[in-house]
A and B are shown apart, each in its own frame.
Chain A
Amino acid sequence: MKKLKSVWIIAGGAERIAELSAGAAAWGEETALLYAGEREKAAGAGTVYYLGPLTGVSYLSYIPAIVALVREKQPELVLVESSRNGRLAAAAVAAAVGVSALTDIDSLEADEDGGGIVGRRMVYGGAAWKTERVSGPTAVVCVGAGVFPPGETPPPGEVIETRSEAAPGIRLLERKENPAQNVNLPAAGRIVGVGRGLGAAENLGAVRAFAAALGAEIACSRPVAEEERWLPKERYIGVSGVIAKPDVYIACGVSGQVQHMAGIDRAGVIVAVNKDKNAPVFRQCDYGLVADLNAVLPRLTELFI
């Protein structure tokens, strides 16, 4: 693959910076990171544009500065972390350069013949893949976790303070951190997924014990997070949630709706436990157990300890 001249990263968390940086180094001759936050953490690309701190300021305030830098330097590709701030920054940059940002991309390729950058995302609730080509001077892509294999990150380079003016007309009144919800499902090797078939939040204890015995992360379906609220939203797998590809996925009380299964389609092995023999999940799994989850889970856990 012929390398692009300049690939930029817009990201905040160290893990995501490292991942996108590996991607940027594979794609581009030069890399740069646009970063707001703690000054000493501004590292991870050939050049770092340090936008400013996030104490007392919303990330939103730096978006005009991000747009101005992209306009001025015109990188050929901007890789943006798939976060809420990332998607907002991506749209602002995309509007400025006249493209649609490709978001939640699961694969990215350079089109050697037709030119441009080609990315693929899930659409229609997981029923199809939409592949799109962006052929502007600058392509903007929001990349989910796990898309780029870990690779070499460029040696720490120059840090340029942009000293940009904060956007007028937006003021941060309050911020509450909730770091408890840090979970990296896309990187998990084993995941136990909880569906509504669990019955009640009280039964989560048995799932936790089972997951712990297996060394697995816990995830869930959308209704479990958004309607029942047994688990936080960050843990739901599906088209509008997390797309994961563990070696093993164990679906517990998950019916197997397409929106959920699309989010786990690339798991190495899918295992299902459900008391409904006719649940669609049994047609999409490698191994299944037709049984009452709450009766068998503690017994299975014992076998694994």
Chain B
Amino acid sequence: MRIVVCYKCVPEEQDLKIRPDRTPDWSGAARKIGQYDLNAIEAGVRLAESAGGEVLALTAGAGVGDSKLQKAVLSRGPAAMYGIKTDEETVSDSLATAWLLKAGIEKIGGVDLVLCGEGSGDIYAQQVGPLLGALLGWRTLNAVSALSFAGGALRAERALENSREVLLADLPAVAALTTDANLPRIPGMKDILAAGKKPVAVWDAAEVSAPPPRGAEIVSILAPEKRERRQIIVEGESEESLAAFYGHLRKVLR
């Protein structure tokens, strides 16, 4: 089995600065693997550990050519990493991102299963995995909370709002994992050292694909206007404090 796990390197939220015109300023922000993608990576590695096969990591955009981020993904278990160079704007669009990942998967070749996180850590539209499956024309599942191989097919549990369903899907397939699918491992020193020796392939977007179509056009990205709240704070647990607080509560609950 050849499993490809897709991930996105997203900016560290704590490093976000907001400019006076409310536009976000990410200059100087560190990058990390999207938190939801860690579940996809872990799921792929566990599948290969239990059923055999190889796990390859694939990303587009930030983190390609950055040795620290490349090591970060490889230390989690994948045997090799493939990166498609492209700009930030391209990978902020679901369709363009899925298009590039599809091209990468076709270039890797012989892929049986693609795993994605539920959504990217920054935009979280939860569309890239499902779009990728649709573009590839493969069996596509989202909300997958458990998966295994069964007789050459994928056995997947989907956690829906009001039910859980267990499905058997023929391969090749694309699955987007939920966050409770597993607990991603924390790489040890040995994993980190081994990661440095694993192969990394970097492609320019033009090498793998025609320019990807944009599925939507960004009108603006703006921090919300600060809403001023009254901030009337009562301190302490005395009768008086509670009575004062109760007075406020009663007013708003009327």
User: B-contacting residues of A (Cβ < 8 Å)?
Assistant: 58, 60, 63, 83-85, 87-88, 90-92, 94-96, 98-104, 116, 118, 121, 123-125, 127-135, 167-179, 181-182, 190, 214, 226, 233-234, 239-240, 247-248, 250, 258, 262, 265, 268-271, 277, 282-292, 295-296, 299-300, 303
Q: Which residues of B contact A285 (CB under 8 A)?
A: 229-231, 233
Q: Closest CB-CB distance, A8 to chain B, in whole Å? A: 18
A241 to chain B, nearest CB (A): 11
Judging by beta carbons under 8 Å apart, are A172 and B167 in contact? yes
Determine whether the beta carbon of B235 is less than 8 Å from that of A94. no
Interface SS majority for chain A: mixed
- Answer whether residue B201 sits at the interface, using C-beta atoms and an 8 A cutoff: no
Which residues of A have CB within 8 Å of B217?
A: 116, 132-135
Residues of the A chain whose Cβ atoms lie less than 8 Å from the Cβ of B180: 226, 233
Question: Are B221 and A300 touching (Cβ within 8 A)?
Answer: no
- Give every chain A residue within 8 A of B110 (Cβ-Cβ): none
Interface of B with A (CB < 8 Å)?
Answer: 11, 13, 16, 18, 24, 92-96, 98, 119, 122-127, 129-131, 133-135, 139-143, 155, 158-170, 179-180, 213-224, 227, 229-237, 241-242, 245-246, 248-249, 252-253
* Inter-chain contacts of B167 with A (CB < 8 A): 58, 60, 170-173
Beyond A125-B122, A169-B169, A285-B230, 9 additional contacts (C-beta under 8 Å) are A58-B158, A58-B165, A88-B142, A94-B131, A94-B215, A104-B124, A131-B219, A132-B216, A288-B232
Please list the 9 inter-chain residue pairs (A to B) with the smallest Cβ-Cβ separation, ordered nearest first: A100-B215, A91-B130, A95-B134, A169-B170, A84-B143, A288-B233, A131-B219, A100-B94, A132-B216
B163, B180, B215, B241, most chain A CB atoms within 10 A = B215
Q: Given A83-B160, A170-B169, A173-B168, do A131 and B130 touch, yes or no (CB 8 Å)?
A: no
Main secondary structure of the interface of B (DSSP, over half): mixed
Check if B231 sits within 8 Å of A282, measured CB to CB.
yes
Chain B residues whose CB sits within 8 angstroms of the CB of A178 once the complex forms: 162-164
Closest-CB distance, A139 to chain B (whole angstroms)? 9
When the two chains form their complex, are residues B158 and A99 in contact, meaning their CB atoms are under 8 A apart? no
B164, A265: Cβ atoms closer than 8 Å: no
Cα distance A132–B123 when bound, in Å? 12
What are 23 contact pairs spanning A and B, CB under 8 A? A58-B158, A84-B161, A94-B127, A100-B96, A101-B125, A101-B127, A124-B16, A169-B169, A170-B169, A175-B164, A175-B166, A176-B165, A240-B119, A240-B124, A270-B229, A283-B231, A286-B230, A286-B232, A287-B234, A288-B231, A288-B232, A289-B234, A290-B236
